[in-house]
Amino acid sequence: MKGKLIALGLVALIGIGFIFLRGPTPNIVLAAEDLAKVGPVKITNTMITSWCVVALIILGVFLVTRRWGLVPQGAQNFVEAGLELFYGLVVNVAGEKNGRRFFPVVATIFLFVLISNWLSLTPVFNVIGFTKEEEHGLVMEQTEVGPAHLALVPFSSLGNLSGDTIDEDDPDAHEQYEAAKEDGKFVGELLPLFRGVNTDLNTPLALAIASAIAVEFWGISTLGLFTYGRKFFNFGSLLKGLFTFNFGLVVSGFIDAFVGILELISESVRLMSFTFRLFGNMFAGEVVILMFTFLAPLVITLPFYGLEIFVGLIQAFIFSILTLVFAVMAVSHHGDGHGEEHGSPAHRAAH
């Protein structure tokens, strides 16, 4: 009996959400929306969100560490446990010496991506922002709260299950726009103030570039510029074989040079792989949540929020750990005598 009541309650919630809580068809936009312009620089909603993420991280660190003590208490227990767990993972992969070098960058990437992904699941994202008046788009109710003029997207009702929109391709679009204006309504586009940071291709690309710069810096600082450079431009044997007319050395030198070029291509492709893996997963997740919120709010949408919480964690972990693995490979190239790095699990897996 209890199970039947729960099932009936779920069905009722689905029905209420489907009839009364649906908004208009969501407008899926690939590029981040421009909200302002400062000189030649355009301020997008993802930039504002990224600033909020950084501010939250700084504020969180300040609040947790302002009463830091030798004997951990309260939130310090959880922070220390999390840091110790992640640090242990980094050291297990890279070794003690390199683990200390890599940990600040790897942990920062993980924390930034994780908070960005989880923050984008809060209800203020993609629903609060500025309006841009046009003859097509959402039909919104206008109201005033003190000195502020607001435009609100009305929920669905029994007579209108999909919300009010004016399609740009509709031949009666202009007449619908004029009728809406006469009714005192606002027609146009909603420019969200907050949007998921990693749903903007520029942010995953920037993270991928930062990761690549860190990896190359560690490789060069550990092995030296010329030793590390031979990983990509290994023409020594080929040139020596050509000058000495040694056919066997020419063949092996050509193979070494070709492998180096492949390594260079691999390093370049890595940027694309990092970028599109994170961007694709986060943008797809946002689209799924927006569409299910439109189709069936409340009950059916909740499992997808749980899935996106998991995906956000996994993507942050993958991005940071791949940075770590590539860093270990960079500093232990071709077995140049760095014993600690050679014994690391990442080096053994890479070779």
pLDDT digits over 185-199, tens only?
Answer: 888 888 888 999 999
The position carrying tokens 């046009």 is 134
Burial grade of 18 (CB within 10 A; 0-12, 13-18, 19 or more): middle
Which of the four pLDDT bands, split at 50, 70 and 90, describes residue 338?
very low
Task: Using CA atoms of 300, 303, 308, 309 in order, give the dihedral in degrees to the nearest 10.
Answer: 140
pLDDT digits over 198-222, tens only?
Answer: 999 999 999 999 999 999 999 999 9
Distance, CA of 103 to CA of 10 (rounded, Å): 46
Which of the four pLDDT bands, split at 50, 70 and 90, describes residue 101?
very high
219 and 228 Cβ atoms separated by less than 8 Å: yes
